[in-house]
Amino acid sequence: MASESSTIPTSVHPSGKQIDWVRALIYVILIVGALASALPFLYMIMTSFKTYGDIINNNFWPWPPFGDEALQWQNYPDAINNVGFDKAWQVPLVVRYFANSIIVTVLGVVGILLTSIFAAYALAQMNLPGKNIIFILILATLMIPPDLTLVPKVVMMFNFGWYNAYPALIIPFLASVFSIFLLRQFFMQIPKDLFDAALIDGAGHLRYLFTIVLPLSKPAVVTTALLNFIWSWDSFKWPLLVTRDSNMRVVAVGLQQFMASEGGTKVQLLMAFATLVVVPVLVFYFITQKYFKEGVITTGIKG
Amino acid sequence: MTSQVTPVPLSATRWRAPSARRWRRVQEIGLGYLLLAPALIVLVVFDFFPIFFGAFISTCDWKPAAAIGAETVLERWLGPCVKFVGFDNYVRAFNDPQMWQSLLVTATYALISIPIQLGLALFFAYLLFQNVRGKEIFRVVFFLPYITSSVASAAVWSFLYNPDKGLINNFLITIGVMNPEKVWKWLGEPTGIFTLMARGTGVTLPEWLGGPSLALLAVIFYTTWVFLGYDMTLFLAGLGNIPGELYDAAKVDGASGWKLFRHITFPLLSPTTFFILIITVIGIFKAFNHIYVMTQGGPGNATTTTSIYIFQQLYQYNRYGYSAALSFILFIVILALTIIQNRVAGSRVVYD
């Protein structure tokens, strides 16, 4: 790292090269930026292992070698027990929140993948009358700000009888224009000759889609799944609006409600809860991060 | 036109020789629409229909169906419109100082965040572009805030901003910038930033010179932190698309450093910049989660953006009609801004 070389008093690097002060400065700035990006997460995890006393006394590092406290692992079970208990399922509410989020996310992502793959295939590879008009209509929904349809959609949930139930959290989101668009772009790159060849072998559209198009499009499908997973896990406003009972909340709503009611005096428990919400996504992200980069660059999506 | 160039299997021709090709074509079209149907149905029911239904609700004094004891289908869909009020909800909105205040907050939020966010992102992208070692590691770390649950990260930042226990004030006190007796309240501070700074020197500023509230600035810092890595990734991709020969040619002509950036990088990057500008504006208009978690629109209405205001009218006061009218007004504002943006900024974009 060039930033280390800047601590060497002479202006000549051991390798004999002149020290590049500009490069050293670049590294310093980048490291400061990276620290700023990561520090809130580190601080969240640190705080989740502190006592409330440490927090009031602004004790930054109460553990050895600077202090003599142990890591407060107890904060995690305490946080889970403090949030409440779900009588319906006989589990702590936090467990129910996670179950709700997983149900909503998994069904939502699988559903979006199915509807988007089918629609994208029809738009990219099939010769249909009115195809272009349909595609323009689909893209036009991007012009609709989510706030515009908020009130009528809530009323619809009441009228469908979906309020405070899973369908309200899943069904309205089963089509994703971004996903259709991303997959269509990818499917269009597959040469038509391939389909003609498959047809001679006796394959129809569906078999061609599942045995040739999808395996070829694995990166695009994985990217679509990952991005939708992240957005679905993050959803907060809609679940807050269309659920009433505490055992129908998703993790984001549960976390916010706990923060609003007890976050001021139980900071360490709030941070433990937040860590539980964040860490699985972080681990997931580190494993799959190259797909995210591709997805962001291809679609320029802002969640 | 796959059906015309492919030979029809013999077995099919034997069954319906004259219309086999047409039959296959009908089948293909039917299958195509069938594949499109699930996505289209969801989009029509949950995106297009609500626009018209929302327009209807906005002309009503609307009570929830449960409150009026509606039972039949018709009663549930039309009955809650207990009174048709025409444009009353819109007139009320135009006379509502809180609506104007919320638009002002949204505009302030946008005008401060956009230059900070885009400027910093371009700055860091440019640094990372200088053949830095460990570029990927930096990129992954910068991207972390964008990927995490916004409610969780906003909860963490609320704690960082805490006046007494938060890391930010502790740090500022430790390095001697902040007086421990007069700590800043960050998210809890509706006073303008210039007023606060002037107070430190004993000057009292008139209210109109107070500047944006510290609470709003705190929200803006958080937003910048979240989107920096995202914008940077897009800028990096844009920088990578600029052909290296252009730089070589300019260097031969004696250009260097700032001149290279000003006359080559910046203009050639303008499509990327314009694109990021558009999605940033969209993001600001729908910003909700972090504001609601950190301040719920407060203190007072210092951070009540229009999106927050629409939500409050619906969620806290059950004013369906008014909330729907507000959302249409916001839509018109966004539409107008998009058109202006395309005219003004779009005309300065250099394509190749």
Reading chain A (303 residues) residue by residue, the pLDDT tens digits are: 333 333 334 444 455 556 788 888 999 999 999 999 999 999 999 999 998 888 888 888 888 888 888 888 999 999 999 888 988 889 999 999 999 999 999 999 999 999 999 999 999 988 889 899 999 999 888 888 899 999 999 999 999 989 999 999 999 999 999 899 989 988 988 888 888 888 777 778 888 898 888 988 888 898 889 889 888 999 999 999 999 999 999 999 999 999 998 877 889 999 999 999 998 888 888 888 777 776 666 655 443
DSSP string, B135-200: HHHHHHHHHHHHHS-HHHHHHHHHHHT-TTT-HHHHHHHHTTSS-TTS---GGG--SBHHHHHHHH
CA-to-CA distance for B125 and B121, rounded, in angstroms? 6
| A126/B35 Cβ within 8 A | yes
Going from N- to C-terminal start, the domains of chain A cover 2-75, 80-299
Contact B321, B61 (CB under 8 A): yes
Residue A41: the pLDDT is: 94
| B156/A30 Cβ within 8 A | no
Task: For residue B61, give the DSSP letter.
Answer: E
ipTM here: 0.87
**What CATH number is associated with residue B135?**
1.10.3720.10
So what CATH class is A80-299?
mainly alpha
Task: For residue A210, give the DSSP letter.
Answer: I
B57 within some domain:
no
- Out of B112-126, B271-285, B311-325, least confident range: B271-285
B contacts of A237 (beta carbons < 8 Å): 288-289, 292, 311
- Scan residues 238-267 of A and list those with Cβ closer than 8 Å to B: 240-241, 251-253, 255-256, 259-260, 263, 267
- Scan residues 172-201 of B and list those with Cβ closer than 8 Å to A: none
pTM: 0.88
Tell which wins on pLDDT, B257 or A158. A158
Partner residue facing A256 (CB), from B51, B148, B293 = B293
- Out of A242-251, B130-139, B307-316, least confident range: B130-139
Residue A200: the pLDDT is: 79
B48 within some domain:
no
A contacts of B47 (beta carbons < 8 Å): 141, 144, 149
Q: Is B3 a residue whose pLDDT tops 50?
A: no
Please give the tally of structural domains in chain B: 1
A contacts of B23 (beta carbons < 8 Å): none
Where does residue A208 rank: exposed (0-12), middle (13-18), buried (19+ CB within 10 A)? buried
B contacts of A202 (beta carbons < 8 Å): 9
Contact A43, B171 (CB under 8 A): no
| A146/B286 Cβ within 8 A | yes
Size of the A and B interface in Cβ pairs below 8 Å: 289
The average pLDDT across B161-174 equals 89
Amino acid at B252: V
Q: How confident is the model at residue B35 (pLDDT cuts 50, 70, 90)?
A: very high
3-state secondary structure of B83: strand
Domain containing B240: what range?
96-317
Q: How confident is the model at residue B50 (pLDDT cuts 50, 70, 90)?
A: very high
| A172/B42 Cβ within 8 A | yes
